[in-house]
């Protein structure tokens, strides 16, 4: 092996053009998915306190925002709904006129080619804030499955392009696939939140989506943060059940999980740069403690380098805008 002084690794770092020539990973706008919060009502655009720059929109306020997303060439959005009415079974999650169902219609009317991904999970729709049906203070896996399938079908019926189950019930990819196929939606892919950890980094999201559990926590269904072999089993199961794209969530404290899943499976891999990760960057930037642009670029690049080719991030719009300015 050649060594110093023949080898000087600094030779290829001397100028920006040289560095660019040998750069191994690049984040492109085409890799990004922009998550959005849709609230029931009219004329609403309210900023989420713990997520500066991110808003809740009522469906009628979407066209302007969606046109901007499209202008920035962001290929896809992920929709979360905040309904007016919550109940034990999360019934407004699968209502024809539900808030996400309305939003899908509006988006497909204004920018039909934008990929609409919908989050499939009951937590924003249940009165208790859990991701499934609760019996005896326990989230009942098998009773929840048909409701998730109904929710997924109701999104696709009004135009969703991809459904993304995030509830972490066992077997949900299978029942969603079966229900979609039964209704003639064989062509609709499932993006499964395959390894979703019980993470403190979801804090700001729960404020945004009004989905804080009213009792207990989500550790009985979301994954335990210390585990990685179990994540590989979750991914294996979801693939066997019919998932088309696999997701790891959160991203930053789980880069090792992303890398291991990338090495073990030949499926498209997504990672979710979650609300708490976003909030920390914004908070430090507001105080002038970090260089925001560089931190965001470095963060997104790290997720890509770890092996995710799709990145769900609240930074999508600002990142795309910076690239256009350059």
202 binds ligand PBG (CB under 6 A): yes
Does 192 sit near ligand PBG (CB under 6 A)? Answer: no
Catalytic residue among 86, 249, 304, 317: 249
Query: Is residue 94 a contact point for ligand PBG (CB under 6 A)?
Result: no
Q: Is 282 a catalytic residue?
A: no
Nearer Cβ to ligand PBG (161/167): 167
Cβ-contact 114, 159 below 8 angstroms: no
Which of 109/138 has CB closer to ligand PBG?
A: 138
Is 38 in contact with 55 (CB distance < 8 Å)? no
10 Å CB burial of residue 37 (0-12, 13-18, 19+) is buried
Does the footprint of ligand PBG cover residue 166 (CB under 6 A)?
yes
DSSP per-residue codes, 242-276: T-SEEEEESSGGGHHHHHHHHHH--S-EEEEE-HH
Which one of 95, 128, 150, 206 is in contact with ligand PBG (CB under 6 A)? 206
The three state secondary structure string of 23-40 is CCCCCCHHHEEEEEEEEC
Q: How far is the CB of 316 from ligand PBG (least distance, A)?
A: 12
Q: Tell me how far CA of residue 178 lies from CA of 83, 171, 189, 190, in angstroms.
A: 27, 11, 12, 11
- Judged by phi (left if over 0) then psi (alpha if -120 to 50, else beta), residue 136 lies in left
Catalytic one of 86, 150, 174, 196 = 196
Q: For residues 264 and 301, what is the distance between their CA atoms, to the nearest angstrom?
A: 21
Specify whether 196 is catalytic: yes
Min dist CB 202 to ligand PBG, Å, is 4
Site for ligand PBG in 271-310 (CB under 6 A): 274-275
Site string for ligand PBG, 230-269 (x = CB under 6 A): ----------------------------------------
Tell me the closest approach of the beta carbon of residue 251 to ligand PBG, in angstroms.
Answer: 10
Calculate the dihedral angle through the C-alpha atoms of 301, 306, 308, 313, rounding to the nearest 10 degrees: -40
Binding track, positions 97-126, relative to ligand PBG; x by CB under 6 A: ----------------------x-x-x---
List residues with catalytic annotation: 196, 249
Q: Which residues bind ligand PBG (CB under 6 A)?
A: 119, 121, 123, 166, 202, 205-206, 211, 218, 274-275
């Amino acid at each position: 092996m050649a060594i110093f002084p023949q080898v000087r690794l600094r030779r290829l770092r001397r100028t920006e053009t040289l560095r660019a020539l040998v750069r191994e990973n690049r984040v492109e706008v085409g890799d990004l998915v922009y998550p959005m919060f849709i609230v029931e009502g009219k004329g609403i655009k309210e900023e989420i306190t713990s997520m500066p720059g991110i808003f809740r929109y009522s469906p009628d306020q979407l066209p302007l925002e969606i046109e901007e997303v499209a202008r920035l060439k962001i290929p896809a959005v992920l929709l979360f709904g905040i309904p007016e009415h919550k109940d034990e079974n999360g019934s407004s999650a699968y209502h024809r006129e539900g808030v996400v169902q309305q939003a899908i219609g509006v988006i497909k009317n204004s920018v039909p080619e934008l990929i609409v991904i919908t989050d499939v999970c009951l937590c924003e729709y249940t009165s208790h804030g859990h991701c499934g049906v609760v019996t005896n203070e326990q989230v009942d896996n098998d009773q929840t499955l048909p409701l998730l399938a109904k929710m997924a079908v109701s999104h696709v019926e009004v135009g969703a392009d991809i459904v993304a189950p995030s509830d972490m019930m066992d077997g949900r990819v299978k029942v969603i696939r079966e229900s979609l196929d039964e209704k003639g939606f064989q062509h609709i892919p499932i993006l499964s939140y395959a390894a979703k950890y019980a993470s403190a980094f979801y804090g700001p999201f729960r404020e945004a989506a009004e989905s804080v559990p009213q009792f207990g926590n989500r550790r009985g269904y979301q994954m335990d943060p210390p585990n990685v072999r179990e994540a590989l089993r979750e991914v294996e199961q979801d693939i066997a059940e019919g998932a088309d794209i696999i997701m790891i969530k959160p991203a930053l404290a789980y880069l090792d999980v992303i890398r291991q899943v990338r090495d073990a499976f030949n499926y498209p891999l997504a990672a979710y740069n979650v609300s708490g990760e976003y909030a920390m960057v914004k908070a430090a930037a507001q105080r002038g403690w970090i260089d925001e642009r560089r931190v965001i670029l470095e963060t997104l690049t790290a997720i890509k380098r770890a092996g995710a080719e799709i990145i769900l991030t609240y930074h999508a719009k600002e990142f795309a805008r910076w690239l256009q300015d350059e």
